[in-house]
Chains A and B, each alone.
Chain A
């Protein structure tokens, strides 16, 4: 996977800061608290009208709570706190909210305002997080990941975080709430999006969805259920519908990604043409210099990760060289490439003669150590044979490709730089 994909934001949802959630709660709470009375006095007709509409739905509330609830809805509408909020939905939501917090039988006025504050903030927070998650989902789909992976990314790195964030909106009001209600808020917002995109006919209210979920999903709390509750009630219920709703956007994103890919390739070819005069061997050397320096000079350990990285770098250079020379990303003249590789090795030995050690006969060690430069010069043919043998062994005798040459090269470097005799020798000039 390319680094730009790995670094892309679409792999995670980042939640709000706790401090912000606390201050949002305080702000809305004091706004509702101070405006309720005023609204009741100043807007009698609005309230009468509203009361008629949702009379049965809020029948469970005491007369005083009814007035408060109606006034709060009035404030929501006039202050534009929640857009296009259906009063019936509001009534269904309050009913479920009181159930989900066990406040249906007893609830002080303060608690009531607090609960509605937490609820309204959750509704806003979830609206926001769903927008981001859907956007990330479209990006993920355009990466051509398998659906089962995308589902896990959504559960583990998006919805889990977003669900915890939403739950925090209640925690800051010191309420303990049934997680299934928060899940229902997510489901409701998703259904609204699906309705807008004409994938479903009509979205249900969070309250209504909650009534359904509590019949099928038996657990309401615990960190251990985060994965399961999201998987069952969001992913299994809506994943396919969301894919369907955003199909055209996903397609468009795929096309853009493809065009970018083509452009990158064109760019790459252009830049590689400019480098033709830079020596080929230097190019290969440049791709391994850093790693060699670390291992041979400052005694960092050679690791498999470093080897893999070397392999990638060498392969890149080899491909570029092949494009320069043959116009394709493959090697047409096999012998020529063997020569490049061998020349590169001898340049390495100039800097680090001790790396030649594993290629020579044990009996010759003393001779080698006393004057490595001369030794290499005199025994060049034998060393070449050893190197060729190693390269062929790693490429399993197949025809050279940038991939298998890079693999061979990096393995030989790994072998040599993890050889303890090599590491104990130094020939500092």
Chain B
């Protein structure tokens, strides 16, 4: 209870900025502002966070290179009560020239306006680029030392993030009003994922960064490498997936690489929070969420060329303490084919899932009774074996095969 109350009052704003210095290890700046609590100064936590940032960059490795990750929102779920908890967690990524920014917000504000917030982060990126350009020029003609340059960058980032935090919490200007939506997007596909909830893990905060089960290495002791061993919040291990998509998806999207089972899953899979990032965030302060699981509720991508938006909307069903189903719908502003379903139906689809879904057994029935009823639903496949299927119809063939065996 006390923990929970604390969480509701805390608001963390974390910005990891990477600047293209010649000396690569000098180019990472971590700015943490925490309202309502002291910020940890623990070096290993900060280092872990910076490493975790690298894992988020994977999101840029799409088969479709012009799609980039923009933002995601997560909710904490207390599995003992099956309740969403405040705060929510947001991850926003922004690049400006060579500078890349990763912003993580953990805040009781459950409705941050992502469009406006991204603009603020863009401003921070742009301003930092200016400070960097000036200080670099001064350094090149020897009027500034390397250390002074680092200090200036650090100080400016801090000022900018503090103002950003003020806009969120005090001015409340970055909270949700209506969010853009010039083009009405279409739903292109939907997934049902089954995931195991992995609990009782601990992790080394030292050099090796290994994960152990709680029994073999109790928290608080030292790892072989000398690092401290800390508790890891529960994380998700994706086990199975079923795809829902319209007939003719191949013609509509017209890019075979973009609709392989693996690439369709990628949009969701890469946003499931890495245990490492969760653990580092959990260490950041007395802000503890190691009792809760975090699942994304919205993941946003953008096309670099056309500014089109690809969003994944998610919902969940907790079937037991250790098992969760995640339902996703992907909307995309690039397509308008009549065989797709308009995103206007999204709330209805989400609500139908929430009230009707009971588990794997009635999954097909849930789809048949929803707005996606005309679409194809594949059987479940193990995610581990996904690379054996080069197209969605390969998965579908599985079912036909097993039907004919009966």
Q: Could you list which residues of chain A lie within 8 angstroms of chain B, going by C-beta atoms? A: 1, 6, 148-149, 151-153, 156, 217-219, 222-229, 231-232, 301, 303-305, 393, 396, 415, 418, 420-421, 423-424
Contact = CB atoms under 8 A, between A and B. Distances in A.
Interface residues of B, number: 39
A223 B162 contact: no
B133 A219 contact: yes
Contacts of B127: 224, 226-228
A148 B130 contact: no
B339 interface: no
Interface of B: 1, 5, 83-84, 86, 88, 96-97, 108-111, 123, 126-127, 129-131, 133-134, 137-138, 141, 156, 159-160, 162-163, 166, 170-173, 175-176, 347, 351, 354-355
Contacts, number: 85
Q: Which of A153, A218, A222 has the most CB of B within 10 A?
A: A218
Contacts of B86: 304
Given A148-B159, A149-B166, A305-B176, A227 B130 contact: yes
B143 to A, nearest CB: 8
Contacts of B175: 305
Contact of A305 (B84, B110, B123, B354): B110
A116 B118 CA distance: 40
A346 B176 CA distance: 32
B1 A396 contact: yes
Given A218-B137, A304-B111, A223 B126 contact: yes
A148 B161 CA distance: 11
Nearest to B86: A304
Contacts of B108: 304
B172 A224 contact: no
Contact of B347 (A301, A303, A305): A301
B137 A420 contact: no
B139 to A, nearest CB: 10
25 contacts: A1-B171, A149-B162, A149-B163, A152-B162, A153-B163, A219-B130, A219-B133, A219-B137, A227-B126, A227-B130, A228-B130, A228-B131, A228-B134, A304-B86, A304-B108, A304-B111, A305-B110, A305-B111, A305-B175, A393-B1, A396-B5, A415-B83, A420-B351, A420-B355, A424-B355
A182 to B, nearest CB: 15
Contacts of A152: 159-160, 162-163, 166
Nearest to B166: A149
Given A152-B160, A228-B134, A421-B355, 19 more contacts: A1-B170, A6-B172, A156-B163, A218-B138, A219-B137, A222-B133, A224-B127, A224-B130, A225-B133, A228-B127, A228-B131, A228-B156, A229-B130, A231-B156, A303-B176, A305-B111, A305-B175, A415-B83, A418-B84
A234 B354 CA distance: 55
Nearest to B164: A152
A233 B171 CA distance: 27
Given A1-B172, A219-B137, A396-B5, A303 B130 contact: no
Nearest to B87: A304
A352 B92 CA distance: 40
Contacts of B137: 218-219
Contacts of B355: 420-421, 423-424
Contacts of A225: 130, 133-134
B67 to A, nearest CB: 26
Given A231-B156, A305-B175, A218 B134 contact: yes
A224 B126 contact: yes
Contacts of B354: 420
B83 to A, nearest CB: 8
Contacts of A415: 83
A303 B111 contact: yes
Contacts of B97: 224
Contacts of B133: 219, 222, 224-225
Nearest to B138: A218
A217 B131 CA distance: 11
Nearest to B173: A6
Contacts of A423: 351, 355
B130 A226 contact: yes
A231 B108 CA distance: 32
